[in-house]
């Protein structure tokens, strides 16, 4: 089944503003570039930058825990490591997350912004090559826009696809075809990938990414309407290459 890549997104700091790309280089066995390379601990997480390992998202400032994060707007300059952050009624922040001083300064800005919404203390964490993905193997995530529209029709509400915080959004696939694609190959332009898991959704999807309000219980809506809590798939990259908006996105037939 062939569709096309509608949009590509990265999330440099876990839980914060997604950034749209026109293209991205996907490497074999690699994560999506510049995606979830930083996270902010909400109290001690046990993460060790000297021996990085997967840690549950509940240990960090994420929308599933703190809806107010959506009211902060961040942009990341990959070349310099500088993060800019802003929120209504607050002085803007600008600092290099590649430096300890910049990480401490952003944690301080965020502590002031979140107030009692965070458990704290807050600390920006990172480690070379490590990614703070929700799934231990969450290399690249894909959401089918037709599935989002079908869910939208069921709940009778407009649903911003960015609630699902995917790397790639695909247009042209039938709704929910991705749920039957486990272990099948996917072609993304010149890239070959393999589906290894559906994405189980959580309370992060309940949050409007613009207002920061919890306004739709999408986990309950998924279960009530379809008997599952999936929306999207995780894929591993088998053969890398550069993908762009508009590239073909094909789920290849499974083995008979």
Check whether 110 has a pLDDT greater than 80: yes
pLDDT, tens digit (0-9, with 9 covering 90-100), for 40-99: 999 999 999 999 999 999 999 999 999 999 999 999 999 999 999 999 999 999 999 999
- Residue range 160-184, pLDDT digits in tens: 999 999 999 999 999 999 999 999 9
CB atoms within 10 A of CB 98: 13
With 0-12 / 13-18 / 19 or more C-beta atoms within 10 angstroms meaning exposed / middle / buried, residue 138 is buried
Domain range annotation of the chain: 2-31+135-251, 39-125
Q: How is domain 2-31+135-251 classified at the architecture level of CATH?
A: Beta Barrel (2.40)
Local confidence band at 139 (pLDDT 50, 70, 90 cut-offs): confident
Query: Would you state the pLDDT for residue 141?
Result: 98
Residue 112, pLDDT > 60, answer yes
- Phi and psi at 11, nearest 5°, equal -130, 85
Helices 218-226 and 145-155: crossing angle in degrees, nearest 10, is 90
- pLDDT over threshold 50, residue 256: no
Q: Is the pTM of this model over 0.85?
A: yes
């Amino acid at each position: 089944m062939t569709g096309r890549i509608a949009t590509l997104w990265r999330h440099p700091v876990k839980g914060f503003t997604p950034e749209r790309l026109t293209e991205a280089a996907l490497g074999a066995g690699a994560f999506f570039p510049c995606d979830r390379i930083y996270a902010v601990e909400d109290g001690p997480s046990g993460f060790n930058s000297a021996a990085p390992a997967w840690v549950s998202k509940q240990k960090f400032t994420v929308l599933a825990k703190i809806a107010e994060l959506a009211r902060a707007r961040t942009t990341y300059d990959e070349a310099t490591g500088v993060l800019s952050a802003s929120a209504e009624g607050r002085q803007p922040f600008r600092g290099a997350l590649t430096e300890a001083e910049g990480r401490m300064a952003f944690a301080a800005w965020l502590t002031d912004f979140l107030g009692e919404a965070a458990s704290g203390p807050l600390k920006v964490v990172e480690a070379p090559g490590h990614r703070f993905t929700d799934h231990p193997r969450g290399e690249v995530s894909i959401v089918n826009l037709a599935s989002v529209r079908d869910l939208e029709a069921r709940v009778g509400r407009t649903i911003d696809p960015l609630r699902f915080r995917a790397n790639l959004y695909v247009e042209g696939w039938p709704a929910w075809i991705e749920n039957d694609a486990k272990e099948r190959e996917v072609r993304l332009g010149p890239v070959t990938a393999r589906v290894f898991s559906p994405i189980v959704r959580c309370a992060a999807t309940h949050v409007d990414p613009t207002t920061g309000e919890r306004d739709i219980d999408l986990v309950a809506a998924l279960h009530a309407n379809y008997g599952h809590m999936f929306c999207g798939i995780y894929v591993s990259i088998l053969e890398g290459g550069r993908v762009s908006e508009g590239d073909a996105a094909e789920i290849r037939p499974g083995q008979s």
